[in-house]
Structure 1
């Protein structure tokens, strides 16, 4: 088994700047030389990219040699992809809407709107 830092990213020159301009998950996988299954990525792309973003936020790659920064970013992408392929979004709860939703707690039914009869019968100002 090889250490991720020992495997070179296809083109690591200016990798951090290039990563800032990538727009799709596939672009990140291609730029960092990470293999992926398109069918699997299609299901979890937002979660993989969110998880990688969390990992990147916790690691300062600025000032590192391009080859080291690229290897670390690739390692994070590989880890995020491994963690999230095969897991449901509800299991991982990366996004706020899922974090706030406790599956053990039922969703409260919405309260019925109430308008007092006097308010409903009051004339509408034309002004």
Structure 2
């Protein structure tokens, strides 16, 4: 199976700005400058969620344009820390630990805890 013209076009795109311009999406360069990798990762995640992918280039182009516009909009309305696109943002989530009060008083009475 040979690559379509759409696939070949996509292979030529290398930056978030290239993708946004190719799909004719108006964008604020300052938003893209700060969030370029996050936008492209979110775009990729949206595409990965489609099964089956349309085979028609026009349908895929329209689908991709909508996904890229949504990915870009996510970061216009929010920020990278809130959106947590990359795994690293999930690695150090706060963890709550509950210790029953009885456990603390038992340790103090038995001399296990030193203050």
Report the TM-score, using the length of structure 1 for normalisation.
0.64
CA 1:73–1:52 in structure 2 vs 1: closer, same or farther (change >3 Å)? same
Which of 15, 23, 29 is the matching residue for 2:14?
Answer: 23
Which of 30, 36, 56 is the matching residue for 2:27?
Answer: 36
- Are positions 1:61 and 2:61 aligned together? no
Question: CA shift at 1:86, angstroms?
Answer: 3.7
Following TM superposition, the consecutive aligned residue runs of length 4 or more in structure 1 with deviations greater than 3 angstroms are none
Cα-Cα RMSD: 2.0
Equivalent runs, 1:1-127 vs 2, <5 Å? 14-59=5-50, 60-61=52-53, 63-64=55-56, 66-102=57-93, 104-105=94-95
CA 1:26–1:39 in structure 2 vs 1: closer, same or farther (change >3 Å)? same
- Is the 8 Å Cα contact of residues 48 and 81 (structure 1) preserved in structure 2? yes
Q: Which runs of 5+ in 1 are unaligned?
A: 1-12, 106-127
Q: Which runs of 5+ in 2 are unaligned?
A: 96-115
Q: Distance in 2 between matches of 1:19 and 1:62?
A: 16
**May I ask how many residue pairs the two structures share in their alignment?**
92
Question: CA shift at 1:89, angstroms?
Answer: 1.5
Identify the structure with the greater helix proportion.
2
Report the TM-score, using the length of structure 2 for normalisation.
0.70
Question: CA shift at 1:62, angstroms?
Answer: 5.1
Provide the secondary structure at the position in 2 that maps to 1:85.
Answer: helix
Per the alignment, residue 114 of structure 1 pairs with none
